[in-house]
């Protein structure tokens, strides 16, 4: 099996991290990786906020918890987690201009980061819940904290760090593949 396929099969979503910061070299490699991710028509409309400030992540968490539903709150309680970033020393918030391509481009970018992290011996979890912290109609949203422009919106986030827990990768269901010969 080639190295890329090995990393794909070994990766799982980790929701507990060691507090140790990533090295500047590791962070730079992740920045280079995400900038290499393709975008529709090479428009490069995405922005990547690399957040290591625990206070900033705490403010984002506060807004997420203000809007999360009871089921998600129960999930977080069961996980014994007070942060949607699960203690990761790095969160990357991906935002983009509100175009029809933004979510597709962001999906490519976040998977690029997840596989780059895995290849570097790091773990990650892809996150959608932080979207609650960036709602335009919330007067206390976190848009200004990350300098989001007026025509920019949250797309997806990823927490990255060294795992403090293990999780077996999921097994795919071959019945989900449709073959047309």
Q: Which CATH number is 76's domain given? A: 3.40.109.10
In a domain, 177, yes or no: no
In a domain, 17, yes or no: yes
Return the H-helix or E-strand segment holding 4. Answer: helix 3-10
pLDDT values of the chain reduced to their tens digit, one per residue, 181 residues? 799 999 999 999 999 999 999 999 999 999 999 999 999 998 999 999 999 999 999 999 999 999 999 999 999 999 989 999 999 999 999 999 988 999 999 999 999 999 999 999 999 999 999 999 999 999 999 999 999 999 999 999 999 999 999 999 989 999 999 999 9
In a domain, 172, yes or no: no
Structural domain count, the chain: 1
| pTM beyond 0.85, yes or no | yes
**pLDDT tens for each residue of 80-107:** 899 999 999 999 999 999 889 999 999 9
In a domain, 173, yes or no: no
Expressed as residue numbers, the domain containing 105 is: 3-165
Confidence at residue 141, expressed as pLDDT on a 0 to 100 scale: 97
In a domain, 97, yes or no: yes
Question: For strand 123-127 and strand 152-161, is the pairing parallel, antiparallel, or unpaired?
Answer: antiparallel
In a domain, 66, yes or no: yes
**pLDDT tens for each residue of 57-75:** 999 999 999 999 999 999 9
In a domain, 68, yes or no: yes
Whole-Å CA distances, 91 to 19, 153, 168: 13, 17, 22
In sequence order, the 6+-apart residues with CB closer than 8 A to the CB of 125 are 13, 14, 15, 86, 88, 158, 159
In a domain, 7, yes or no: yes
């Amino acid at each position: 099996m080639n190295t890329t396929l090995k990393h794909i099969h070994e990766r799982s979503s980790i929701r507990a991290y060691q507090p140790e910061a990533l090295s500047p070299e590791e962070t730079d490699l992740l920045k280079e990786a995400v900038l290499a991710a393709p975008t529709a028509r090479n428009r490069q409309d995405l922005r990547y906020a690399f957040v290591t400030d625990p206070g900033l992540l705490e403010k984002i968490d506060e807004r997420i918890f203000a809007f999360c539903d009871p089921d998600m709150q129960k999930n977080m309680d069961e996980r014994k987690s007070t942060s949607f970033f699960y203690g990761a020393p790095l969160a990357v918030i991906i935002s983009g201009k509100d175009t029809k391509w933004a979510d597709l481009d962001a999906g490519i970018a976040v998977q690029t980061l997840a596989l780059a992290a895995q290849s570097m011996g790091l773990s990650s979890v892809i996150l959608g819940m932080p979207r609650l912290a960036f709602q335009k109609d919330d007067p206390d949203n976190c848009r200004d904290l990350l300098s989001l422009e007026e025509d920019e919106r949250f797309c997806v986030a990823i927490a990255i760090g060294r795992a403090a827990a293990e999780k077996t990768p999921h097994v795919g269901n071959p019945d989900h593949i449709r073959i047309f010969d």
